[in-house]
Amino acid sequence: MSRILHNRVRSSFKNTSWVSIDKRAVAFSIWTGRSMLLYKPIDTSHVQRRCYGMLVARAIRGVLKIRYLVLGGAVGGGMTLNKKYAEWKDGLPDMGWLNDLLPDNEQWDRFTTTLITAKDKIGDQLQIDPRLREAGVARATELREWLAQRYEDAVAAAAVNNQQRLVYCSEPAPKIVNNLQSRPASPPPARSADDAAHYEKRVHALQEEVLALQARYQRELQRLEQENRELRQQNMLLKQGRQPSTKKMKRSLIDMYSSVLDELAGWEADGADRLPRVVVVGDQSAGKTSVLEMIAQARIFPRGAGEMCTRAPVKVTLSEGPYHVAQFRDSSREFDLNKESDLADLRKEVELRMRNSVRGGRTVSSDVISMSVKGPGLHRMVLVDLPGVISTQTVDMAADTREAIKQMTRQYMDNPNAIILCIQDGSVDAERSNVTDLVSSCDPQGKRTIFVLTKVDLAEENLANPNRIRRILEGKLFPMKALGYYAVVTGRSRRDDSIQGIREYEERFFSSSKLFKNGLVTPSQVTTRNLSLAVAECFWRMVRATVEQQADAFKAMRFNLETEWKNTFPRQRELDRDELFERARAELLDQAAELSAVPAQRWEHALRDALWDHAAPTVMDRIYLPAAAAAHHDQEPSLRQIHLKAEPAPPGPPGPPGIDFNKFNTLVDIKLREWAERELPGTSVQAGREALRAEFSRLTEPAEPEPLFRGLREHAVREALLRHDWEERAQDVLRVLQLNALQDRCVSARAHWDRAVALLEAALGDRLGAARDRLRDLTGPGWRERWLSWTSPTEEQRRRALLAAELEQLGTARPQLTYDEVVAVRDNLRRQGVEVDNDYIRETWKPLYLRKFLEQALTRARDCRKSFYLYSQQNGAGKECCEVVLFWRIQQTLETTANALRQQIGNREAARLDRELREVLDEMAADADLKKQLLSGRRVELAEELKRVRKVQEKLEEFIEALNKEK
């Protein structure tokens, strides 16, 4: 069977190609197991081996393909990562400027070697002064012994008191005597159980006070030891003959906090300023300023007899120091508060600053006056003295004074972290108080209010019921609540009393007062000394509780502002208003400096154009046209009356045609000289100033101006140009040059002749166009305009057109019409149904005659263009083209003037204008309100807020770090 199949296959392969035969033979052999060519079975084992080999090859090829994919992916990913890294690296800011600031490795090596050498020398040669060592050791030993003794005494006293409490537990507690009045000690009476508990609490409080005192003196001891070490180091340096390095004095904690408040002063952002401070509020003349002076221990504020003294908020920073001095934040002068002369100067300065802050007819101002007071024994705090609240405003006050004071007071008290020091006058009826309701509305729970009753000595004398004072100090009379209630005496109504005298008077009063004797008040509620201590403790407690929270708020505010900047103004620097102003200032000065590099040809071209614009009306109306009309008709006033619209001269016979050249030249010489002596120098200076301003404005206006700087540039350039004035002596020099140039009547070159003819034709063409426009306005549009523009004349224009047609028939060779001609024209118009009078006819005749005259003059000018050869052959004696000679003289004079003005600009005026611009920019730099007005927009405001927030945040972090160290 296989053989038969094999034969059939062979027969079918006869007509097939060798390629197809080969494929079919291989397939047949594999299927049958025999060779089609050999007619015998074939071995298929190699075919199976081949199949296995193919499978293995395919597996190896797949593995290799996976390797290529993995390797290709790794290479591609590496290239992508490298590209991303390059893009990220390119996006980083350029920090190459650090290489200029930081020293290189060689300098670091030299510096390190020098330090090691100095250390070896100092260690070998320096010796500590034994006197300083003995003094420091002795002082430290004394302090340690004293503190140890005090601590042992306190512990022993506590043990004794505990034993006594156990023995005398049934006896009542002794009454606390006034610490301002010494009394003999008496044996302790019997105490009750409640009194014993109170006594135990008192003992524990004393023990805590002793421990706090010990910790305080321990810190003081450490500070003294540090100072001792610094003194020893300075002594070593002095022994070696070297001066100690002057280090920047470390600022105190309260000064750091005060600088933060100064940065926040005047910030209009909502909720930005929430930092604690002591706000001193009260009615007018309630004693606010006196209380503050007692706390500051100096008479630092001006006083007035029955008038408002505090017109602006005064921020006073109190701190402890070795000397009693005061200083304003923006001034370097220190006022010695122990000298009466410095105190007087300080009060005058405060009054002057208050009056300067009140502008625009206002009575009070919100501008803060910042000052610091340092002295021994002063408690560290920041107080803000506000204008007193008034109930009635006088006629010399602004209309909104009362509301402005209330709004200002409420704004400061609305700060949830502000401590309100409410001052109430104890010598007046409590019902007259205006400030208590205001305070209770801002702090209804009284969690940050301290109530102070002043003038208690007067209140004790005037009040028949002292119980009223007790109710006030217990918080039962006023509806407001407070943390504490204090009674003080701040003087005896004498302006020359010293602080020490007032303090002694206050202590004597309270020691002998009925308030103490009757037990109405406790000793801790009286005297400004106790008040100052309580306010300082409350202030620092509030600061420690809220300052970190405020720092976090500023950090969040900074993040929000930076995010807004990146989204709104990408790829732009965060420049505040001052930096933007300096940038615009530098660009403006650089552009103004290019004024000296303007080419001379440009200057002369601009000056010639400006000079001709100023001189053209005078040349045409007062020199050329009157002289030509007078020489043409022997009637000089006629054409001047035409241009000045004066009454016409009496009619006369018309003059002969043509021009009297001798008369024309004579009149021209006279008018030119008058013009050159009187008006031309001043006109030339005005033209030079305008050319200079135009070029200066062009240079200071960039090709692509930034809209933010447009207002600033315009203001600076305008102010500089208004201040700039040409030198007066320049007119005398110009007058001489112009008179000499007008004397030359000989045109020496064809180019000069052509330029003079071109100037004459241009002047006549401009004036002729104006005359035609004037006539067109009188007679209405022509037929071409009527058809093309669909316009029609008015009734008045139709009358003028009919009259102009009648006058054209008379000819226009004379400036004046005779009486008979006027009557004839009027009769002709009457026959046409148009009534006109004589003046109407003469008024219409003037523009007709002027147009005809200018047309004739323009024709003569065109004819003179080719007459230079004839003029040169006559050596300037020919008079046919005297009009061209006139304009050549004028042109020559203007060119000479332009050259002189160019030299004046290059030598003097450009530098003076640049100096004026610098002065204007300096004044603008000092005017913050003007800069705020000229540089405005969200970009500037956002950059300003960012700068302020960063500065406040940095200062707050510095303050918090110092505060934590002090803890």
User: What's the whole-number average pLDDT of the chain?
Assistant: 76
The pLDDT > 90 percentage for the chain reads: 13
Distance CA 450, CA 458 (A): 21
Most confident range (mean pLDDT) of 73-82, 107-116, 958-967 is 958-967
Q: Is the pLDDT of residue 208 over 90?
A: no
Place of tokens 């994919």: 69
CB 257 within 8 A of CB 543: yes
Q: Is the pLDDT of residue 280 over 90?
A: yes
What Å distances lie between residue 259 and 516, 824, 944, CA to CA? Answer: 42, 97, 18
Own/partner contacts of 739-746, CB < 8 Å, gap of 24 or more, are 739/673, 739/676, 739/677, 741/889, 741/892, 741/893, 741/896, 741/897, 742/672, 742/673, 742/676, 742/889, 742/893, 744/889, 744/892, 745/876, 745/885, 745/889, 746/876
CB 424 within 8 A of CB 381: no
pLDDT at 916: 92
With bands split at pLDDT 50, 70 and 90, how would you rate the model's confidence at 16? very low
Distance CA 499, CA 295 (A): 10
Which amino acid does the sequence have at 487?
Answer: A
Q: Is the pLDDT of residue 265 over 60?
A: yes
Domains of the chain: 301-411+421-538 (3.40.50.300), 582-633+658-746+888-936 (no CATH), 747-875 (no CATH)
Copy the structure tokens of residue 944.
Answer: 């300003």
Place of tokens 């105490």: 191
Copy the structure tokens of residue 300.
Answer: 């630092």
CB 604 within 8 A of CB 905: no
- Measured at the alpha carbon of residue 420, what is the angle toward residues 416 and 425, in degrees to the nearest 5? 155
Q: Is the pLDDT of residue 225 over 60?
A: yes
Region of 288 please: left (phi>0), alpha (psi -120 to 50) or beta.
alpha
Comparing 167 with 835, which gets the higher pLDDT? 835
- Give the pLDDT confidence of 514-545 residue by residue, as tens digits: 766 666 677 788 888 889 999 999 999 998 88
**In the Cβ-directed half-sphere of 452, how many Cα atoms lie within 13 Å?**
33
**What does the pLDDT average to over 792-812?**
83
With bands split at pLDDT 50, 70 and 90, how would you rate the model's confidence at 656? very low
Place of tokens 């650090």: 98
**What does the pLDDT average to over 591-611?**
89
Q: Is the pLDDT of residue 308 over 90?
A: no
**In the Cβ-directed half-sphere of 525, how many Cα atoms lie within 13 Å?**
22
Copy the structure tokens of residue 562.
Answer: 């930076």
The pLDDT > 70 percentage for the chain reads: 69
Write the CB contacts of 359 (distance below 8 Å, at least 6 apart in sequence). Answer: 365
Comparing 661 with 947, which gets the higher pLDDT? 947
Comparing 93 with 515, which gets the higher pLDDT? 515
Give, as one character, the DSSP assignment of residue 479.
S
Q: Is the pLDDT of residue 235 over 50?
A: yes
Most confident range (mean pLDDT) of 56-70, 605-619, 703-717 is 605-619
Q: Of the ranges 489-493, 619-623, 763-767, which one carries the lowest mean pLDDT score?
A: 489-493
Give, as one character, the DSSP assignment of residue 595.
G
Tell me which residue of 598, 594, 603, 587 sits closest to 716, measured CA to CA: 587
CB 473 within 8 A of CB 522: no
CB 646 within 8 A of CB 640: yes
- Give the pLDDT confidence of 463-515 residue by residue, as tens digits: 656 677 777 887 777 777 888 889 888 876 666 778 888 888 888 888 887 76
Beta strand 369-375 with 381-385 is unpaired
Q: Of the ranges 215-219, 242-246, 525-529, which one carries the lowest mean pLDDT score?
A: 242-246
With bands split at pLDDT 50, 70 and 90, how would you rate the model's confidence at 1? very low
Query: Residue 865 phi/psi, 5° resolution?
Result: -60, -30
| Number of other residues whose CB lies within 10 A of the CB of residue 380 | 19
Residue 558 burial class via C-beta count within 10 angstroms: exposed 0-12, middle 13-18, buried 19 and up: middle
User: Dihedral angle at the C-alpha atoms of 502, 508, 512, 518, nearest 10 degrees?
Assistant: 60
The pTM for the full model equals 0.58
Q: Of the ranges 82-86, 392-396, 610-614, which one carries the lowest mean pLDDT score?
A: 82-86
CB 913 within 8 A of CB 542: no
What is the widest separation between alpha-carbon atoms in the chain? Answer: 154
Q: Is the pLDDT of residue 401 over 50?
A: yes
What Å distances lie between residue 39 and 28, 169, 263, 678, 862, CA to CA? Answer: 12, 139, 112, 140, 125
Give, as one character, the DSSP assignment of residue 711.
H
Which amino acid does the sequence have at 515?
Answer: L
Place of tokens 């002998």: 512
Distance CA 564, CA 945 (A): 12
Distance CA 272, CA 285 (A): 32
Copy the structure tokens of residue 54.
Answer: 């193919």
- Give the pLDDT confidence of 437-451 residue by residue, as tens digits: 888 888 888 888 999
Tell me which residue of 766, 733, 622, 715 sits closest to 927, measured CA to CA: 715
Comparing 516 with 124, which gets the higher pLDDT? 516
pLDDT at 883: 87
Q: Of the ranges 620-634, 682-696, 721-735, 913-927, which one carries the lowest mean pLDDT score?
A: 620-634
Rg (CA), the chain: 52
Q: Is the pLDDT of residue 242 over 80?
A: no
Q: Is the pLDDT of residue 166 over 60?
A: no
Comparing 124 with 608, which gets the higher pLDDT? 608
Copy the structure tokens of residue 666.
Answer: 């004579």
Point out which residues pair with 282 in neighbouring strands.
423
Q: Is the pLDDT of residue 23 over 60?
A: no
Tell me which residue of 267, 353, 258 sits closest to 315, measured CA to CA: 258
Write the CB contacts of 387 (distance below 8 Å, at least 6 apart in sequence). Answer: 284, 308, 310, 311, 312, 313, 364, 405, 408, 409
Q: Is the pLDDT of residue 581 over 70?
A: yes
Residue 6 burial class via C-beta count within 10 angstroms: exposed 0-12, middle 13-18, buried 19 and up: middle
Q: Is the pLDDT of residue 251 over 90?
A: no
**What does the pLDDT average to over 183-211?**
61
CB 515 within 8 A of CB 460: yes
- Give the pLDDT confidence of 371-390 residue by residue, as tens digits: 999 998 888 899 999 988 88
Give, as one character, the DSSP assignment of residue 623.
I
Q: Is the pLDDT of residue 124 over 60?
A: no
CB 683 within 8 A of CB 617: no
Most confident range (mean pLDDT) of 254-268, 773-787, 790-804, 900-914 is 900-914
